[in-house]
């Protein structure tokens, strides 16, 4: 009986939570364009485990904090308008090499170029252009750690979910 118990416990543990973590976000164009089901199905079919997920309406302060590294770019005000224009679905994904695998799955930043160079990527299939590219993915393990704690752990500068409008 003990062996059977160990076997049953080990199956879910082996398939979850021993990899790397990354932050994925379905952006407003993905939500409004009804791409959520397709994107989540693609995530699960690609052997990621969705550890946490939350739908939020970001306010401008939170969006500016999340995209702080781009604050000096000319597209920054437009980016903040866009990312706060409708709810977003934020997920923590777990998989070996989650950061690079998720970036590969979403494709290049500019969805219009992705349609030519990476036609099977999520951005090619669901995005429109360099801004409205449907999904976000952390670009490094360091970014992933910052972005996950920004939304899911309490930080003074970040956007703890309990402080926002969970939908």
The answer to the question of whether 103 is labelled as a binding residue is yes
**Nearest-angstrom CA–CA distance, 48 and 117:** 24
The answer to the question of whether 132 is labelled as a binding residue is no
Active-site hit among 61, 136, 154, 164: 136
The answer to the question of whether 113 is labelled as a binding residue is no
The answer to the question of whether 123 is labelled as a binding residue is yes
Shortest Cβ 155–ligand ADP spacing (Å): 20
Q: Which is nearer to ligand ADP, 18 or 75 (CB)?
A: 75
Structure tokens at 96: 């070996």
SS3 140: coil
Q: Which is nearer to ligand ADP, 95 or 136 (CB)?
A: 136
Shortest Cβ 45–ligand ADP spacing (Å): 22
Structure tokens at 30: 């993905």
User: Looking at 10-159, which runs of residues are DSSP E strands?
Assistant: 20-26, 49-57, 88-95, 135-137
Interface residues with ligand ADP (CB under 6 A) are 70, 75, 78-79, 109, 130-131, 133, 136, 139
Shortest Cβ 133–ligand ADP spacing (Å): 5
Please enumerate in sequence order all residues whose Cβ is within 8 A of that of 69, keeping only pairs 6 or more positions apart, or say none. none
Please enumerate in sequence order all residues whose Cβ is within 8 A of that of 65, keeping only pairs 6 or more positions apart, or say none. 150, 157, 158, 159
Q: Which is nearer to ligand ADP, 59 or 139 (CB)?
A: 139
> Is 8 annotated as catalytic?
no
Catalytically active residues are 136
């Amino acid at each position: 009986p003990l062996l059977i118990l160990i076997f049953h416990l080990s199956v879910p543990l082996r398939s979850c939570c021993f990899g790397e973590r990354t932050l994925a976000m379905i952006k407003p164009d993905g939500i409004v364009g009804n791409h959520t089901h397709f994107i989540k199905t693609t995530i699960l079919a690609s052997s990621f485990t969705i550890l946490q997920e939350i739908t939020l309406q970001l306010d401008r302060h939170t969006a500016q904090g999340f995209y702080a590294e781009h604050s000096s770019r000319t597209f920054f005000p437009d980016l903040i308008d866009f990312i706060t224009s409708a709810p977003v679905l934020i997920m923590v994904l777990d998989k070996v090499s989650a950061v690079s695998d998720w970036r590969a799955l979403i494709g290049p930043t500019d969805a219009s170029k992705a349609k030519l160079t990476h036609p099977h990527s999520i951005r090619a299939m669901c995005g429109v252009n360099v801004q409205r590219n449907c999904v976000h993915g952390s670009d490094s393990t360091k970014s992933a750690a910052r972005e996950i704690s920004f939304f899911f752990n309490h930080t003074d500068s970040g956007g703890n979910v309990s402080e926002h409008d969970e939908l």
